Amino acid sequence: MLTKELEFKLPNELVAQTPSRRRDQSRLLVFSRSSQSITHHHFHELPNLLPPNLSILRNDVSVFKARILGKRPSGAPVECLMLKPVYPFENTWRCLLKPGAKTAKARKFGLKDEYSAEIIRCLPSGEYVVHFELPNDSDPVSLAQRIGSLPLPPYIRRPATKVDEKRYQTVYANQAKLSAVASPTAGLHFTPEILNRLLGQGHSIYDLTLSVGLGTFRPVETEHIEDHPMHAEKYFISPETKLILRNSQKTKFAIGTTCVRAIEDYMNNQDSENSQSSEVEAKLFIRPPHKFLGVDHLLTNFHLPGSTLMCLVGAFLIPGENHGVSLLKEIYHVAVSKKYRFFSYGDAMLII
């Protein structure tokens, strides 16, 4: 499949720069795979639109303030975006640096009395392996939470604010799981009231944790989609959630593509031990004609042109077939004509 097939026209004004006034006031496009029909709603209607007795899977990861500022020895400014730790090395992370080449040449950066950092290696991906010395903090995440800012996606053309510190997290984000540099954005529409309504209607909710990385925003740059080197993201699934995923009698509803990626990676590589948690890296590139093993219904946002997430959603629209992306683009054309808002702070799409 050619990467150019993932492109579509999106007016700049439809790229959401701020969240809706209330989480559940966002709009909701519903696509029925059985009837091939589209209907238009608002998110607070979700409990009335779902089939009964669902096992709902959600990603409870929390986004940390991964963007920190520093200075090179010359005094010139540096912006460091922490991506993920490099195991088993203590206080060593893969990072993006701005400016990259000048900072790499200087080898060091930091903030007086806060931290010092040394660049250990430059990676072909444009990332840098950085070791941190921390006089005041136990680890780099603690440093970032204290002095950093939320790493809003690059298409949100403004600095993060106090409002973002609340609204760029899901209401069910687990603060003990500060490991994501991007939010699982399909979950941003939920309120405690909607979650309680779902439980009251007899649905069950199960958590998993996938550490959403910056690869989420990186476009496919190869001519053919199949040649794209898929990024890896660590995920954690508890024994309780594993049992639900393995139960073929349960109908599973995934909140977001990050959930889908963890679920499908686990179902394709599942271990035989139900009594222990699984903590591995998802490397699965979900694209047509993927056959889904653990997801029956999907809630997702509207995604970037040229992205791997378009491949995933296209595959879900018509599992096991090759033309799901074409159908997704038809749906997106309708969404654009109806002025739906796109990307992280945008509206949602339900596929049932």
Task: Write down the residue that tokens 């809706």 correspond to.
Answer: 20
Angle between helices 257-268 and 239-246 (to 10 degrees): 80
The mean of the pLDDT values for the chain is: 96
Residues in the chain: 352
Q: How far is CA 257 from CA 144, 297, 311, in A?
A: 26, 11, 11
Which domains does the chain possess? 3-63+164-351 (3.40.1780.10), 67-147 (2.40.10.240)
Q: How many CB atoms lie within 10 A of CB 285?
A: 17
Residues forming a β-bridge with 17: none
Name the burial class of residue 216, with classes exposed (0-12), middle (13-18) and buried (19+) by CB atoms within 10 angstroms of its CB.
buried
- In this structure, what token pair is assigned to residue 329? 């683009």
Q: Alpha-carbon distance 210 to 229, whole Å?
A: 19
pLDDT beyond 70 at 273: no
**Which H or E run contains 42?**
strand 37-42
Among 108-112, 213-217, 250-254, 316-320, the least confident range = 213-217
- Residue-wise pLDDT for 129-152, tens only, equals 999 999 999 999 999 999 999 999
Closest CA to 250 of 288, 189, 204: 204
Q: Which two tokens stand for residue 84?
A: 């993920």
| 337 — pLDDT class (breaks 50, 70, 90) | very high
Is the pLDDT reported for residue 345 higher than 70?
yes
